[in-house]
Amino acid sequence: MFAASQPPLLIISLTTCKISDVSTSLRVPTLSGKESVILELLVRDGELYGLQLVAASKRRLKRGTVYVTLGRMEDKGYVTSRLEDPSPESGGLPRRVYRPTALGRRVLMAWTDVVRRLMPEFGR
């Protein structure tokens, strides 16, 4: 298969490159508990800003972690955001409003389906 003059180190190196390329392209999307709550709320209510998510979550989300989680979700492609024009009641500051992406909706549906199948008592 390989020429006798080809050093074994090169063969190992090429194999490693092919394996590492496959592992990054087949990355399985993950969804933490907080990410799941956020996606459920955004799918249900549409666009929301961080503090609206905290209020709608009924104590499942905290002010200190919601924005970190939203940033991570934006990096994963589960949500997008935009700056909303400032309103008089917010003190003239713009708010960042979040909404789910098509990928975020698909990941939520898949994870919800897996939970229902593995733990039917929670899917009721």
63 membership: H or E segment, kind and range: helix 63-76
User: pLDDT tens for residues 111-120?
Assistant: 999 888 888 7
Q: Which range marks the domain in which residue 59 is found?
A: 31-122
In a domain, 14, yes or no: no
Q: Give the model confidence (pLDDT) of 16-36 as tens digits.
A: 444 455 455 567 788 999 999
| Sign (positive or negative) of CA dihedral 2, 3, 4, 7 | negative
* CA angle at 84 for the pair 36 and 90, rounded to the nearest 5°: 95
Q: Read off φ and ψ for residue 11, nearest 5 degrees.
A: -65, -45
Burial class (CB in 10 A: 0-12, 13-18, 19+), 59: exposed
Three-state secondary-structure class, residue 47 = coil
pLDDT score at 10: 46
- Count how many domains the chain has: 1
Query: Is 21 a domain residue?
Result: no
Provide the CATH number for the domain around residue 46. Answer: 1.10.10.10
Residue with tokens 């003059």: 5
**Is residue 40 packed enough to be buried (19+ CB in 10 Å), middle (13-18) or exposed (0-12)?**
middle
Q: Using the predicted structure, report yes or no on whether residue 3 has a pLDDT greater than 80.
A: no
pLDDT at 11 (0 to 100): 46
Within 10 angstroms of residue 114's Cβ, the number of other Cβ atoms is 11
pLDDT, tens digit, 9 for 90 and up, residues 30-87: 899 999 999 999 999 999 999 999 999 999 999 999 999 999 999 999 999 999 988 7
Classify residue 23: in a domain, yes or no.
Answer: no
